[in-house]
Amino acid sequence: MPEAPSAAHDSAPDTVLVVDFGAQYAQLIARRVREARVYSEIVPSTMPVAEMLAKDPKAIILSGGPSSVYEEGAPQLDRAIFEAGVPVFGMCYGFQLMATTLGGQVDNTGAREYGRTPLAVSKAGSTLFEGTPENQSVWMSHGDACSAAPEGFSVTASTDVVPVAAFENDEKKLYGVQYHPEVMHSTHGQLVLEHFLYRGAGLKPTWTTGNIVEEQVAAIREQVGDKRAICGLSGGVDSAVAAALVQKAIGSQLTCVYVDHGLMRKGETEQVEKDFVAATGVQLKVVDAQERFLNALAGVSDPETKRKIIGREFIRVFEQAQAEIIAEGGADVAFLVQGTLYPDVVESGGGTGTANIKSHHNVGGLPDDIEFELVEPLRQLFKDEVRMVGQELGLPDEIVHRQPFPGPGLGIRIVGEVTKERLDLLREADAIAREELTAAGLDREIWQCPVVLLADVRSVGVQGDGRTYGHPIVLRPVSSEDAMTADWTRMPYEVLARISTRITNEVADVNRVVLDCTSKPPGTIEWE
């Protein structure tokens, strides 16, 4: 989403709904729409069409999915969605569902196409394919094939085995492609998507970081009114941008609370107290809760339980801070500001109707008896969008481009029970890894590099001519745009060697360093 100043908008942005049929790439579709400077939201395919239309979408995109349209129990969609006058774009499964629902023919021919596939465009000047070559490479993933388009549709592309790989009906503003235009392997995919948005649906590229700031400042002022709010400041970009947005909206009505829970990385508490306050001038209250968190986590190894404990204790500490602020003469504190992002919502089982992957401390990990009303100005944003909003607000690069760090801190980077000794060990290993990555100039190339302590695992080693029985440290360098998908970063061997040598030499009780080379999916970025 390019940065661009814009005039204030008095109404909500035009919205494109992405209907999720269980696609691997549903979140990516939503991001690609936003990159075209059009606002998008993901909704589950189980949502009734009447509810979708009640959101007043200006366009609808039907995602791909793993099912066959003819399978028993396969996701379906009410025909009314195609008769509502809203422009619709079907991709892969969404394309086939549009075809069968409107009277076209989809067959299970056994003619499968997976991966890069040559596409022949038969109508180069069509709404979707204007300005793209007649022969292009696209990303396919299907076993069924459309052999006949619905009545009134024009076939605009084909492959060697699929006679109808794209169709269009300009009169009804219905469009579809068999492939995945949202992935980078489809060479002209973003242009095809933008053609649907701009030419097919008539939308304008007006959703910018300036819009986001203006809309959220107005929404925050309306929500908070003349009451006070506190913000849980972790030092990460999410909470920093959320705090900066809320401060812009309500000024001195906001107090930021930094909870020193003892789960932060080396030197980060000092950084929060110095850098963020210097950059924003916000009121900051520091609460020392290290002993409280360690006592609550004692004896706990299950990762979900740890997340929920940390989320619960955060809220309890905030309630304590609220009481202290009121006792000091402040007005009633009724709101809690959080840096919740869209991927947090999706992975915690919200937003798409999908399964809960893991509870985020600020979504699924909150206790039921929370006394605050939440203010979550970043809830519909992806990480890269949050960084751009931070730049729009004038936050320094040291904060805006800081590598992501989970709210539960090192508590979920220790596989096993969390103790002070294990935290101290992990802090030293993590500091070494960060120092070497910075020295190698890899801070921007690597999205995030969790350093994980396998506390309940020990392995035999040899150090100082003697046998050791120490812990393994795992390096998890990943590259990503929004944390919804990620790949492991191919770091130079010499950097890995320096990190490994320093950790095993300088950190007591560690005798082995291993590299996690798993993508997401199937693995999450954090181990817990």
Instruction: State the catalytic residues.
Output: 92, 180, 182
SS3 41: strand
Name the residue among 469, 470, 479, 425 with its Cα closest to residue 451.
Answer: 425
Report the distance separating Cα 503 and Cα 509, nearest Å.
10
Report the distance separating Cα 503 and Cα 432, nearest Å.
7
Report the distance separating Cα 80 and Cα 101, nearest Å.
10
Q: Exposure of 226 by Cβ count < 10 A (0-12 exposed, 13-18 middle, 19+ buried)?
A: exposed
Q: Any alpha helices (H) in 401-515, and if so which ranges?
A: 420-439, 493-506
Contact residues for 11 (Cβ-Cβ < 8 A; gap 6+): none
Q: Could you write out the DSSP letters of every residue in 156-205?
A: EEE-SS-S-SEEEETTTTEEEESS-TTSTTSTTHHHHHHHIIIIIS----
Report the distance separating Cα 466 and Cα 471, nearest Å.
16
Specify the residue for token string 């979920």: 412
In 3-state terms, the chain is what percent helix, strand and coil (to 5)?
A: 35, 20, 45
By DSSP bridging, strand 459-463 and strand 510-515 are unpaired
Q: Any alpha helices (H) in 10-101, and if so which ranges?
A: 26-35, 49-54, 93-101
Contact residues for 487 (Cβ-Cβ < 8 A; gap 6+): 478, 479, 480, 519, 520
Find the radius of gyration of the CA atoms of the chain.
25
SS3 333: strand
Q: How far is CA 79 from CA 63, 85, 98, 101, in A?
A: 16, 12, 9, 6
Q: Which two tokens stand for residue 128?
A: 């979707």
Q: How many CB atoms lie within 10 A of CB 428?
A: 18
Q: Exposure of 440 by Cβ count < 10 A (0-12 exposed, 13-18 middle, 19+ buried)?
A: middle
Report the distance separating Cα 499 and Cα 496, nearest Å.
5
Cis peptide before 522 (omega within 30 of 0): yes
SS3 488: strand
Dihedral sign, Cα of residue 31, residue 32, residue 36, residue 40: negative
From first CA to last CA, the distance across the chain in angstroms is 31
Question: 380 and 373 in contact (C-beta within 8 Å)?
Answer: no
Q: How many CB atoms lie within 10 A of CB 65?
A: 24
